[in-house]
Chains A and B, each alone.
Chain A
C-alpha cells in the first residue's frame, strides 16, 4: 500500500491510501491518522479512491482512527470509496456508522 498525506488546511488532513488496505498495511494508516491529529488537524478525511482491496483489519484501522479523531474533538470521514470497499462496509454494517461521501470536498463540507 502507498499512503499520501495532504494538509488541506490548518485543521484538515487528507489521507490517500492506494492499493491493498489490509492486515499488513493497516497499522500505517492508523499511525498516519495519529500523526495528523497530533499536528492539530483533527478533521481527517480518508480518500479511498485508490484502494482496490480492504479487509476487516483495514476497517479496524478506520474505526481506530475515528476514535483518535473524536477523542481530540475532531472527526474521521470517508470519501470516494470504490465498489469493493462499499460492499465490505455494507457486509459488516460499518456503513451504519461511517458514511461514504462522494468526494473529499463533500466530506469536508458535511
Chain B
C-alpha cells in the first residue's frame, strides 16, 4: 500500500529537528533509515502529519569513543557499525548480534538508533543495549538527557522518549571481556526473531539477555555452576512468552529452554 499523505521536512541541523518536534509533538515522526517506519507507513499502521528526515545532518552520522563508551549517532547505519574497525575489539557482543539484524539490504539503510527508538521486543540492538547497560541520548528544546537502557525500554514498541524528544545517539560501554555469545531463532535469516538470546561471561558470572519473550528485553545475572536448566526454565515461566503468528507462548518458552543454556555455555567457554 501507499502511505497516508504527510508533510516532508529535510532538516539540516539538530536544532531544526527540535523546533519541529516542539511544534508538532506526537504528530511528527523522525525518519532515519526508515526500515521499520516506512514499512509501518506503507501498511498505514501509522499516519503522522509530518516526517522529519535526519539523514543529511552531518553531526548525527558519527561513531566516536567518549569516556569508555562508543557513541553511535542517529544517522549511522547498522552495516556501518558492523564494519567499524573497533567493533570486534570493543563491542564483541554487538559484532555477534549485528549479522542477525534484518538483511544485508536493510542494514545498508536501517540505523542503530532507529532500532533502539522503535524498540521491537524481538530486536537484536535493543537487547544488546540492555545487556551492555548502555544509554540513550535524547534531545528536545528543553535540553539533552541520557537515559539508561533499562529506563528507556518501557515495553512493547514503547520507550521513555517524550513526544517532543528524539534519539540523537546511543552509547555502548566498551566491553572488558570478549567472552560473548549470541543466537536467535527465526523463520528465515533476517526475519523478526522468535527469540533472541545473548550472553556475556566475566569470570564465572554471566549476564544473560533474552529478546522476543516479553515486551522488552530481559537481562539476568547468572552464576556458573548452578543448575542452568532449572534457572532457564524458571526464567521461561517468569517471562511467559507472547503469542503471535510466528510462535505460541509455549513454543517461545521451549525455544528459550533449548537455546538459553547453550548460549551461556558458549560464552563461558570462550577464550578471554
A binds B: no
Interface positions of A (Cβ within 8 A of B): none
- Which B residues have a C-beta under 8 Å from some C-beta of A? none
